[in-house]
């Protein structure tokens, strides 16, 4: 697994409720004590993702005082995304260009990850955490500039110069170079509880299987030769 | 005045309600169309600062659809500052070390400016702004790492790599190299409405004159040889 952070120090895992951050959290929890941070921002499936967060925090036995759920109202007020603006529809996967390079996906939430990591940095300064773990995946990053490795390099520089934590706090991206099917396989090796996660952008009762996020998830499980444990509408 | 941004493009002015951002906004408004962004975060004098924002937006005739007020609940939930945690008292100015270099002021709000600028970047992506103006002052920055020039350099890099705006959006710090008394003098030259601003960390009815922020403000007006137009408790 490698030492993703100093095991003597507390780590903050960003836990969206999806499978990438579930694996990142599983890795962080193996390395030492973890706090879990979840962010809602008025996205369509916020309640279901929050439930996934609570289920994951319970699974990993995170103490109540090391769980934080924050609502970023600014992102829903600002809109500009199919996830936060009900007047913009979530594209079905057959409407998503195969190569999104350069084109902005309707589901891009402007600069979202900067808000999420800033929240983690503020919390890290107060609770004394030494690392922040995020489940960003470069494979998805063509259309999401705030998922690129360069973004995290730049953010670490920002923390180094702009916080009291300085260089003693780092953002880590343990799954950034993995394909989604590698994430499935490694998750199984580590007993990551994918059955508790949620990925669908559209529905909260059962996954719709129609949006880009469902597509990527289903394809990853198929490529790994494993059945996705969550329910889908038939 | 110089060209702080491309006058053909909309600028977002971060307007806290204090005198530094009042001058930065006055400069931005001279250069072209401006949107005003104000952030509350559960700080002690949030209501009075919000009033100052509304008064300034009215003074500069900012259209309603180009005003945004956002509450960053995460900063009050996380605490760790005398401004957001009622159990930590605001130091009187005689308790503030003359040289704060290296020591964290009780009024430091962890990584606050990163949240504020991230909010502005998200909004800029949606409304198409080309610059963000913040009234950070390096003179104050010994104890506030998120007010240092290096922080803004690092943030511009983050925007360049991590947003769709890329290099077409820049954070500008028009008053960062000025002393507080130079800010007073330039504000008078530009008719910046300092009578509408608020600086006190403690009180909302009249400025208390006891906190570090009042001290800096009063000293600046005294050095500039001008009477501060806002009311103080006697």
Both tokens assigned to B225: 């040889």
In this prediction, residue B93 carries a pLDDT of 63
| Helix pair A212-224, A180-189: axis angle to 10 deg | 60
| Contact between chains at B121 and A113 (C-beta distance less than 8 A) | no
Q: Do A164 and B145 touch (CB under 8 A)?
A: yes
Identify from B35, B67, B78 which residue to disrupt to test chain A contact, counting A C-beta atoms within 10 A and taking the largest count. Answer: B78
Nearest chain B residue (CA) to A81 = B126
Evaluated on CA atoms B10, B110, A50, A185, the torsion sign reads positive
Cβ contacts below 8 Å, chain A against chain B, sum to 141
Question: What is the Cα–Cα distance from B6 to B225, expressed in whole angstroms?
Answer: 34
- Biggest CA–CA distance in chain A, Å, is 51
Task: State the pTM of this model.
Answer: 0.91
State residue A21's pLDDT score. Answer: 97
Q: Are A125 and A164 in contact (CB under 8 A)?
A: yes
Complex ipTM tops 0.85: yes
Q: Which fold has domain B11-224?
A: Rossmann fold (3.40.50)
A-chain CB neighbours of B149 within 8 Å are none
Question: A115 contacts in B (CB within 8 Å)?
Answer: 115, 118-119, 122
Q: What does chain B come to in residues?
A: 234
- The per-residue pLDDT for range A145-173, each reduced to its tens digit, is 999 999 999 999 999 999 999 999 999 99
Q: Is the pLDDT of residue B2 over 50?
A: no
A110: nearest CB among B70, B75, B125: B125
Mean pLDDT throughout B93-101?
Answer: 56
Is B36 within 8 Å of chain A by CB? Answer: no
The answer to whether residues A17 and A52 touch, using CB atoms and an 8 Å cutoff, is yes
User: Which SS3 state, helix, strand or coil, does residue B133 take?
Assistant: strand
d(CA B48, CA B41) in angstroms, rounded, equals 13
CB proximity B10 to A under 8 Å:
no
Using pLDDT thresholds of 50, 70 and 90, give the confidence band for residue B160.
very high
Chain A CB within 8 Å of residue B146 CB: yes
Burial of B85 (0-12, 13-18, 19+ CB in 10 A): middle
What integer pLDDT is reported at residue A57 of this predicted model?
A: 98
What are the structural domain ranges in chain A? 11-224
Q: Which tens digits make up the pLDDT trace of A30-83? A: 999 999 999 999 888 999 999 999 999 999 999 999 999 999 999 999 988 888
Nearest Cα neighbor of B73 from B26, B39, B118 is: B39
Percentage of chain A modeled with pLDDT above 90: 75
- What letter does residue A145 receive in the DSSP assignment? G
């Amino acid at each position: 697994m490698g030492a993703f952070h100093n095991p003597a120090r507390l780590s903050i895992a960003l836990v969206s409720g999806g499978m990438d951050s579930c694996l990142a959290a599983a890795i962080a929890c193996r390395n030492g004590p973890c706090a879990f941070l979840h962010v809602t921002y008025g996205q369509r499936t916020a309640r279901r993702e929050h439930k996934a967060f609570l289920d994951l925090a319970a699974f990993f036995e995170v103490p109540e005082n090391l769980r934080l759920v924050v609502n970023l109202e600014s992102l829903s007020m600002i809109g500009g995304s199919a996830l936060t603006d009900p007047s913009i529809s979530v594209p079905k996967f057959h409407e998503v260009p195969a190569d999104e390079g350069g084109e902005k996906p309707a589901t891009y939430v402007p600069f979202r990850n900067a808000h999420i990591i800033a929240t983690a940095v503020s919390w890290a300064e107060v609770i004394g955490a030494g690392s922040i773990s995020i489940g960003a995946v470069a494979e998805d990053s063509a259309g999401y500039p705030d998922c690129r490795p360069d973004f995290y390099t730049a953010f670490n520089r920002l923390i180094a110069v702009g916080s009291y934590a300085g260089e003693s706090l780092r953002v880590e991206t343990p799954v950034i170079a993995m394909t989604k099917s590698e994430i499935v396989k490694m998750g199984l090796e580590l007993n990551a509880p994918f059955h508790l996660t949620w990925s669908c952008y559209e529905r909260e009762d059962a996954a719709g299987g129609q949006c880009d996020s469902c597509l990527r998830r289903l394809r990853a499980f198929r490529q790994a030769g494993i059945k996705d444990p969550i329910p889908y509408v038939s």
